[in-house]
Amino acid sequence: MKTKSLFYLLFCTATVSLAQTTSSPTDSTKALFKPPKYSYMQWDLGYSGMPVKGQFINAFDLSILGVVFNEKWFTSVGVNGWVSHKTNTFLTELPPTIDSYVYIYLNNEFLIKPKNLINFSFPIKIGYGGATGWDTIYSSSSTQSISNWNFTGKNYYQHYGDFWTVSPGANAFINIFKGLSLGVGANYRFAFGVKKDIGTDSDFSNYSVNAFLRMKFDTRAYMAKAMQRQKEYLKNLQDK
C-alpha cells in the first residue's frame, strides 16, 4: 500500500511539473511563425577569381544592403564581374576570348556564431547577368566590330549572352575588429540558359575562390548614441 501511494505521489508530481514546462500548441505556433529579429547591417567588399571558357578571370565582388537576422541569417544584394581593357590584345590571340563578365545576385547566407574570433558561413547566391566575347563566327545577333584586324584575314565579331547562375559555397572568417572581418571562401557556379552566341552552360559553370572584407554596422547602437547625444545637448541648453 505504501509503495502504491509513493508511486501515485511521484506520478502526480511529474505530471504537474510537465504541465508547467510544456508550452501550449498556441505558444508553439507563435514561435514557429515569429518574424525574424533584426540584428545589424553588413557589407562585403572583395575579390573573386573564376575560370570562364578556359581563361581565369580576376573579378571584383561587392555585396551591399545586407541585413543580418537573429545573428544567423544574412541576406544582401550584390554585383560580381570583370571588364577587360585589353580588347585589342585579346583580338591578336587565337581563339579570341571573353572580355567582360558581370552579373547581379541575391545572397542568402547561414552564419555560424559570427561573433566568435573564427567563424564560418554557408552562402548561396542566385544571380543574373551576362558576358561579351569575340570570335570569328557570325550570327544574326552579333555585331561586327573589327574586320581583318591585325591582317589575319579573319573578321571578328562581338557576341553577348545573358543567363542565370546559382552558386552554393562555404566561407571562413577571422574577426579582426568588432565591426570588421576578413573572409575567404569558395563556391561552385551553376549557369543556366546561356545563349549559344556566347557559349554553353558548361562554359560558365565552374568554381570560384573569394577573399573579402566584411563590414558590420550596428545601426541600432549608432541611433541610440545619437539620441543620447541629442538629449545631452538639449539638457545643456536648458541648464544654461
- Looking at the DSSP assignment, which residues form a beta bridge with residue 181? 175, 214
Judge if 19 and 45 occupy the same domain: no
What per-residue confidence (pLDDT) applies to 13? 46
CA distances, 8 to each of 3, 108, 203 (Å): 9, 53, 73
User: Residues 6 or more apart from 217 whose CB is under 8 A from it?
Assistant: 40, 41, 42, 43, 179
Judge if 120 and 189 occupy the same domain: yes
What per-residue confidence (pLDDT) applies to 98? 80
Judge if 6 and 46 occupy the same domain: no
What per-residue confidence (pLDDT) applies to 108? 97
CA distance 94 to 178: 50
Direct distance between the N- and C-terminal alpha carbons of the chain, in angstroms, rounded to an integer: 83
Judge if 126 and 161 occupy the same domain: yes
pLDDT of 33 strictly over 80:
no
Total domains in the fold of the chain: 2
- Higher-scoring residue by pLDDT: 59, 14: 59
Judge if 15 and 95 occupy the same domain: no
- Fill in the DSSP letter of residue 138: -
Could you read off the pLDDT of 60-103 as tens digits, one per residue?
999 998 999 999 999 999 999 987 755 544 455 545 578 889 99
Could you read off the pLDDT of 201-223 as tens digits, one per residue?
998 999 999 999 999 998 776 66
What are the DSSP calls for 188-202, one per residue? EEEEE---TTT--TG
CA distance 228 to 231: 5
Judge if 164 and 230 occupy the same domain: yes
CA distance 173 to 41: 17
Half-sphere exposure of 35 (CA within 13 A, CB side): 3
Grid look-up 548614441 returns 225
> Where residue 225 falls among pLDDT bands split at 50, 70, 90?
low
Domain with residue 114: its CATH number is 2.40.160.20
Range of the domain at 188: 37-239
Q: What pTM, to 2 d.p., does this model score?
A: 0.73
Nearest to 143 by CA among 158, 165, 161: 158
